[in-house]
Chains A and B, each alone.
Chain A
Amino acid sequence: MLWARGFTTVMDFTQQIAQYIITGLTIGAIYAIVAMGFNIIHNATGIVNFAQCEFISLGGMFMYSLVVLFKVNLVVSFFISMVGVALIGALIEIGPIRHARSKEIIILIFLTIGLSEIIRGAAQEVWGTDNVGVPSFSGENPIHLLGGATIVPQHIWIFGITILIMLMLRYFFKNTLMGKAMRATAVDRRAAALAGICVNRMILLSFAFSGALGAVAGMIIAPISTTSYDTGIMLGLKGFAAAILGGYGNFVGAILGGILLGILESLGAGLISSQYKDAIAFFVLLLVLFLKPTGIMGYGESERI
């Protein structure tokens, strides 16, 4: 049906494609931010932090509570939520992750799964299971673009905030002492410690960062897709797929992977079948793992046994 409609006029078809790409870019930007959060923790500790999913949900739900329930100013609540989730991320590191008796990677990965269960359970207690809406940052009136496609202001906010975050992260990692120290820790923990870097503090910081990133992702997508205590699971796992697609641990890769995955998913859902929308991201994930496990930006062969 969709195909038939698409081909009635070429104009219609291009317009539809443009619309899919805009949607894809939006959701792709979200995946990119989430993938960034996964990467920061992976680089600092070598673990896959599944609690990242919960950071996204918490971001959305904090925003909802502040803006809708407590009528706090939008900008203020944005920053409060971001700091709040960053603190939760830091607490996770200070508490269980740092005090685990075994530092084996496999144990720490399981630990993040357990922590995310606790957070999700607690969120369900606090907010219930309903999907709730958050007002857009600035109005709902769609803006018409050249190709006939439309864009709602929230999409522009998402692009803007994503680009801003990327620039800030770039500045932080390239130009500040602390950012450089974090990069050093990622390259070699022991060498970094020998150079006088407090490795524990860097790991703590990386958890706080990825908490803040998750929260931002959850907050900016909330006005479009509504939010609930478990929205983060799918978004988070797809962000994880985006991180792999880009090359796990690679920052430019996270952006490319996120955007590519977003567009693929949106085109696939529009042109092939919307029922399999969620399957597309994971299908891409499997393909990447089998064909080029280092991802698009990964250099060299990954270690084969």
Chain B
Amino acid sequence: MKPRYPGYQVLAKWNSPSFDDSTRAVLARRLGQVPPRRFLTEAEWALLEAVNRRLLPQPERSEPIPITPWIDAMLHEDRGEGYRRPDMPPLRQAWRLGLAALDDEARRQHGQGFAALDGAAQDALLQTLADNRVLSPQWQAVHAQRFFVHLLLKTAAGIYYAHPAAWDEIGFGGPASPRGYVRLGFGQRDPWEAREAP
């Protein structure tokens, strides 16, 4: 992927008026204190890691934006979105059952676990979840499409785009307190905003 905003780094503004202490504290934790595995089993972690590599592939990064550790932290803290459908199990159970069903689905479709498949086969398998064209009876406990879209995908996308490296990638201004912005109109850019490659 060709960089759209070459050289732009939100974190270069760390000591500028675009950052305040509360934001620095939050981002220091996100960057420097990636949580250890506390909730998922080693096998579940490895499986989820393989899934996240397909949901948000980052082949160009030597240090990919971590996603799995933050999902584990969310499950460890049992911190969900505050609602679920009555036929969905509670948060922790939904993730655990969903991951098990996903691996079972891989064995039924391809004869081996998800992590052992190549990238194309993994993508094809995930698409069957997205389309709700699944074989495993384990999906009776957790709806395949909802697990894929509202748990796996929505969560991973949220974590990825909460990371400063993702903000660099899309040219987002990032933290903006107390300075904010001055130039608001069409095609107008403050000097502390990303410049798009011509």
Does A associate with B in a complex? no
